Amino acid sequence: MTAFETVRYDAVVLGGGDPGDAFAAAHGVAVKPLIPVGGEPMALYVLRALRGSGRVARIAYVGPVTPEIGALIDVRVTDHGSLLGNLEAGVEALEVDGQAAPRVLVVTADIPMLSAAEVQDVLDSAPTDAALVYPVVRREVCEAAYPGVRRTYARLRDGSFTGGNVFILDPALIGQFLPRLREVLAARKAPLKLAGLIGPGILLRLLTGRLTVEALESKVSGLLGVTARALITPHAAVGTDVDQDEDLALAEAYLKSHQAG
C-alpha cells in the first residue's frame, strides 16, 4: 500500500440545477445532471469515477436522484438553489458529530467523461498546504483531447486555461472564505465592482494576458483570507462539462469509443 492509498476524502457532488433549465427540459428531465448520456444519467458516470478512484470515503449528493444514483451515494441533500448554498449544505451534511473530514472534494455532476484514474491523480497531485485547491486545464490539452470542443479560457502569461469542475477545500475554513467568495461571484458580471474587489491593476493584467498563475494565486489567497492554489492538471475531462447539445454529442461519442476500446 502506498502513502497515497491511505488518504481518503469525503466528496460533495453538485447535482442540482435551475428548474427552468431549457437544456434539461428538452431532454425530459428536471435538472441537467439527469440528462442521459449513452442511456444513463450523466451524474452516474461522475459517481462511478469517484467510487472507482479508491480515494473517496463518503459522498453527499446535492439535488434530485434516481434509484441508480441513490445506490452510489451516502447522503442525499436537497437542492438549496445556488452553487454556494449547495456547497455549504453538502459539506455540512458530511459532518459526523460536528466534525468534517480534513479535506473535501467538490465535483459538479455534469462532467461524465471523468475517469476514476483522473480523480485519483488529481487528489494525489493536490498540494496539501492550501485551504482551497482549484484545478485548471491548458487550452491545448482540452483541444487535443476533444477536437472542436468550445470552452471559455483565461489568457495568462503562463498560457490559456479553462477552470476545472472540481476543487478541493478544507471544510474547517469554509466559513472563513465563503462570504468573500459570494461577493466575488456576485460581482463577476459587473466590471467596476469586480475591479474594486480584486484591484484595477490585477484586473488589467488579467485582461491583457500579463498575469501569472502565481500572482493570481496570491491575489485570490489575500482576497479570500486563506491559502488558495491552482493545480494545473493534464486531464481535459476535469474542465469539460456538458452545457449544450454539442457537448452532449461529444461526451456520448467519446464514452462510446472508450467503452468499445
Per-residue pLDDT, averaged over 111-129, amounts to 96
CB atoms within 10 A of CB 201: 11
121 residue type, one letter: D
Residue 191 has pLDDT above 70, yes or no: no
Per-residue pLDDT, averaged over 168-187, amounts to 86
- pLDDT-derived band at 7 (thresholds 50, 70, 90) equals low
Give all domains of the chain, ordered by start, each with its CATH number: 8-260 (3.90.550.10)
Q: Which three cell numbers stand for residue 158?
A: 503562463
Ramachandran area for residue 199 (φ above 0: left; ψ -120 to 50: alpha; else beta): left
Q: What is the DSSP letter of 108?
A: E
Q: Is the model more confident about 172 or about 40? A: 40
- Of 122-126, 186-190, 251-255, the range with the lowest mean pLDDT is 186-190
- pLDDT-derived band at 1 (thresholds 50, 70, 90) equals very low
User: Which pTM was predicted?
Assistant: 0.91
Residue 97 has pLDDT above 80, yes or no: no
Residue 174: C-alpha distances to residues 163, 245, 260 (Å): 20, 35, 42
Q: What is the pLDDT of residue 2?
A: 42
Q: What is the DSSP letter of 134?
A: E
Q: What is the C-alpha to C-alpha distance for residues 214 and 217, in angstroms, rounded to an integer?
A: 5
